[in-house]
A and B are shown apart, each in its own frame.
Chain A
């Protein structure tokens, strides 16, 4: 399995508080992604990164920001969490000679009360 971890794995927070989720990889892959998955839905891309300090928006980026200061870490921040951001968040990576294949982390379950 690809070396990709997410922290925390579970978090409960209150509306209006800032939240940061971390994705860490040991594969030295160039590309990193953040998705959210809601019940009955597939994954929706929030933001992605194509290199250190290079990021772009996905289809559901409103209310989220990201940062990538080094290859191995990709941070997702909810500046002011809302109940609609309650979801499971998955990080993914791709790169190397199989750059079209994404490897997913274990997910973070976030509950915003």
Chain B
């Protein structure tokens, strides 16, 4: 599975759009890009998943360029409750052997 690289931490203010970029230079043809969110003392929670181009759901958008060597998670108009750790993963079609990196710690300030 491809290793992913993302910033260790980011700060933002309430109401701003936050973009977290993930690098995955060695992503395999069959790998999907999946993002999870984790609050303290809780297990991670699935946010969004994509293969290429753009995917949008009720909480986020995921942009994956044609070369698929990177991806960007976009959180529109963040609130204090979006303060969490965000993980970018390359997952195979079976979803097995997922590799979580250290994640990006997002801190949203008032």
- Distance from B63 Cβ to chain A, minimum over Cβ atoms (Å): 19
B: interface residue count bin:
20 to 34
Give the size range of A's interface with the partner. 20 to 34
CA distance A67 to B97 in the complex (A): 17
Residue from B95, B97, B99 in contact with A94 in the complex, judged by beta carbons closer than 8 Å: B95
Q: How many A-B residue pairs have CB under 8 A?
A: 60
Q: Does B13 contact A (CB under 8 A)?
A: no
Is B43 in contact with A104, judged by CB distance below 8 angstroms?
yes
Residue contact B87 to A42, C-beta cutoff 8 Å: yes
Q: Which residue in chain B gives the minimum CB-CB distance to A100?
A: B95
Q: How far is the CA of A48 from the CA of B98 in the complex (A)?
A: 10
**Which of B45, B99, B103 lies in contact with A45, CB distance below 8 A?**
B99
Residues of A whose CB lies within 8 Å of any CB of B are 31, 33, 35, 40-45, 48, 50, 56, 58-59, 90, 92, 94, 99-107
